[in-house]
Structures are given as C-alpha cells and as structure tokens.
Amino acid sequence: MSKINVCVIGTGTISDHHFKAYANNPDVTIYGVYDYVYERAQKKAEQYGAKKVFKSLEELFLDTNVDAVSICTWNKTHAEIAIEALKHDLHILVEKPLCMTVEEAYAIQEEADKHNKVFQVGFVRRFGTNTKVLKSFIDAGKLGNIYYAKATYTRRLGNPGGWFVDVNKSGGGPLIDIGVHIIDICWYLMGRPKVKSISGNTYNHLGNRKNVKNLSFYKTADYDQTENTVEDLANALITFENGASLLVDVSYTLHAKEDELGVKLYGTKGGAELEPELVIISEENDTILNMQPQIDHLTFDFQNAFQNEINSFIECCVTGVVSQAPVEDGVEIMKILEGIYKAAETKSEVRY
Ligand SMILES: NC(=O)c1ccc[n+]([C@@H]2O[C@H](COP(=O)([O-])OP(=O)(O)OC[C@H]3O[C@@H](n4cnc5c(N)ncnc54)[C@H](O)[C@@H]3O)[C@@H](O)[C@H]2O)c1
C-alpha cells in the first residue's frame, strides 16, 4: 500500500505536534509544507524531512502527489483553505475552531458533502486517554442520562498576543480559542444534543496585562502586544433540546489565584470529572463511591492525544471510515460559540 502524502499548511507553534505525530505514523510521508513566512516553512521542512517547501497555496494544490493536508493557520483562513483543499479532492485535518462563523461553517460543510474525502476537525481532547476511558463508561450507561455539565478553562495570565487577539484574524478571544475545547468535550460526552438556547456574557476589563513581570505564559509564533480586540473573560449557560444544560467560563486573564481546568459531568446514575483528573462517581449499597481508573494519564495528555488524533485521521484516509470528529460536529460547535458571542452582544438569550 502506498503511503499518504501529507502537507502541513501553517508552520507555527501547533504544527510541531502535527509533524511529530505524522513522523511517528508508518502510513505517512511528510510530503510538503507551506507558510506565509517561507523561512519558517523551510526550517520545518529540514527538521521533519519534508520533500517540498511550497511558495504558494496554488502551487501546493496543483501538485497531484498531495493526498492530505493539516491546516494549522490563523482561524481567519481555515474556511478558504479548507474549501479550496476540498475542491482539489484532498483529505483534511483542520485545527480548531473549524472557522470563524456559522456562515463559513455551512459553506465548508456544503463543499465537504460534495466530496468523498475525510474531513476531521482538530478536537484533540476527544482523543485523550482519559476521554476515551470515560466515554467507554458513558457508552456502557454508567452515568445514565447526563443532564448537567460544568466546564472551566481560566488562565490568570495567558493572552497569547499576535493574531489570537486580533478579532479579525481569530474570530474572538478565549471563548473561540480554548473554550472551544471544553465546550466540545462536554457536548461530545453528553451525546451531542441539539442546542436550544444560549445566554452568555463577555468582559474586557483587564486587557492583555503586558505590564505583568516575572510570570511566563504561552505566546504565538509572531508575538505582538500592540493589538487586543478580544474579550478576556466569557461565560455562558447553554441549554439543549433534551433538557440538559452546560455551564462554561473561560479566560485569558482574570484576578484568580491560579489557572483552572475543570470538566465535570452529572448524570442520573453517576457523575464524572474528566479534568483536572479523571474520577467516576457512583452509588452502591447506599454508599457514594469516588472511583479512580488506574491509567497512565488521568489528565489530558497532549502528546498522546495528538498522536491518537493523527493516527485516527490517517486510518480514516486509508480505510475510508468516517472521522470521530466530523465536519458536522465542527458546525454545531460553531453555532454554540457564535450563539454565546451573540447573546453577550445583544444582552439577551439566543433561541434556536
Ligand atoms: N489543538 C490545540 O490544542 C491547539 C493549540 C494551539 C493552536 N491551535 C490552533 O492551531 C492554529 C494555529 O495556531 P498556532 O498556535 O500554531 O499559531 P501560530 O501563530 O504560532 O502559527 C500560525 C502560522 O500560520 C501561518 N499562516 C497563517 N495564515 C496562513 C495562510 N493563509 N497561509 C499560510 N500560512 C499561514 C503564520 O505565518 C504562522 O506561521 C489555530 O487555528 C489555533 O486555534 C490548536
């Protein structure tokens, strides 16, 4: 069997995780790279042994040896690159969020429906070991009906700067950047219910806090502190047609004691905490049990999850099986994200 020739488009920070995982997959040849910044792409090509450094997207799409692409660019360009890649009949793994708006999401889905190609959204947390283990318990009915979930991803200091905080390039702040992960993981584990109503708030009281000294944080490849047109905190209550609800808060900065990551699900038979550490809660013999699975990674294991995500994508390309994070899920999550921004802007509940 011939290998899948993969190109990585956008060779900034997250691309390393794609490259490393592709390099470990025996069914892949890292064929080419492309970035606005040619030297950056060239460096990655040398590092990971890519055969080609493309000078333009047109050149990449006209190369008939390419089978699949990873899109690791600014959110603003996900839709146009994904649609063009689909038109050239390529398999696609696009980083989260799928795009910036619901309108773009529908346009991508419409094009994807015309092609018999794998389309995977980078919901990497679905591929974490702790998620897979919890999902197996949920699928076995151990939590019963999940009617409530609570997700928190708050950074006390973590405005990544650059394009991430230019709303025209990112589509929003912590909500669309990191909120997307925890909203998706709750929604996925809750059984992907249809959204019914959303209320939410966004705040921009603290800015990027570039004055803070002696505390390091994540920065984008082209770090720049001059622009900051995104929220620094968002919260929301999302209600679903089956009556379940999800409460979320996310921040790039907050006067909090420490960063916090929490993903909690509550059902009619049991509950679970996925983050900060997997625990399954149950009741037996009139006794409440907090059960901790004995596994290597109780919390999100970035490297393993990326490897699983890429392996799963390539397996779909090879076998034709539908992805575990398909385009329609990306569309539903865009509806929720856009709904929260709309609810915050209009200061009223959004109904579907
Ligand atoms: N899955 C995760 O946990 C995770 C983590 C971080 C970032 N991301 C996502 O990955 C994507 C990239 O984020 P990053 O942190 O690597 O950003 P980055 O700024 O470090 O890198 C982005 C790169 O893309 C290039 N680029 C942008 N638009 C381009 C275009 N149209 N054509 C060619 N090159 C282009 C830039 O020059 C830059 O080198 C974003 O969508 C982000 O949301 C996902």
Going from the Cα of 13 to the center of ligand 1, the distance in angstroms, rounded, reads: 7
- Both 194 and 341 in a single domain? yes
Contacts of 85 (CB under 8 A, 6+ apart): 61, 69, 71, 92
* pLDDT averaged over every residue in the chain: 97
What CATH number does residue 219 fall under? 3.30.360.10
What CATH number does residue 12 fall under? 3.40.50.720
- Both 163 and 115 in a single domain? no
What pLDDT is recorded for position 218? 85
Q: What is the mean pLDDT of residues 325-330?
A: 98
Q: What is the mean pLDDT of residues 102-110?
A: 98
- Both 158 and 37 in a single domain? no
- Both 113 and 27 in a single domain? yes
- Both 84 and 105 in a single domain? yes
pLDDT tens-digit series, residues 228-260:
999 999 999 999 999 999 999 999 999 999 999
Going from the Cα of 46 to the center of ligand 1, the distance in angstroms, rounded, reads: 19
- Both 154 and 183 in a single domain? yes
- Both 290 and 142 in a single domain? yes
pLDDT-based confidence at residue 290 (cuts at 50, 70, 90): very high
Which residues, judged by CB distance below 6 Å to any ligand atom, belong to the binding site of ligand 1? 9-15, 34-37, 40, 72-75, 77, 95-96, 122, 124, 162-163, 177, 220-222
- Both 287 and 169 in a single domain? yes
Buried b / exposed e over 22-55, threshold 16 CB at 10 Å, is beebeebbbbbbbbeeeebbeebbeebebebbbe
pLDDT-based confidence at residue 1 (cuts at 50, 70, 90): low
- Both 56 and 135 in a single domain? no
- Both 179 and 205 in a single domain? yes
What pLDDT is recorded for position 219? 86
Number of domains in the chain: 2
Going from the Cα of 288 to the center of ligand 1, the distance in angstroms, rounded, reads: 45
Looking at the predicted structure, is the pLDDT value of residue 99 above 90?
A: yes
- Both 289 and 315 in a single domain? no
| Residue with CA at minimum distance from ligand 1 atom 7 | 14
- Both 294 and 320 in a single domain? no
pLDDT-based confidence at residue 184 (cuts at 50, 70, 90): very high
Range of the domain at 73: 4-125+306-326
Mutate to test the pocket of ligand 1, among 95, 227, 306 (most ligand atoms within 8 A of CB): 95
What percent of the chain stands above pLDDT 70? Answer: 100
Which atom of ligand 1 is nearest to 14's Cα? 16
What pLDDT is recorded for position 227? 84
Going from the Cα of 76 to the center of ligand 1, the distance in angstroms, rounded, reads: 10
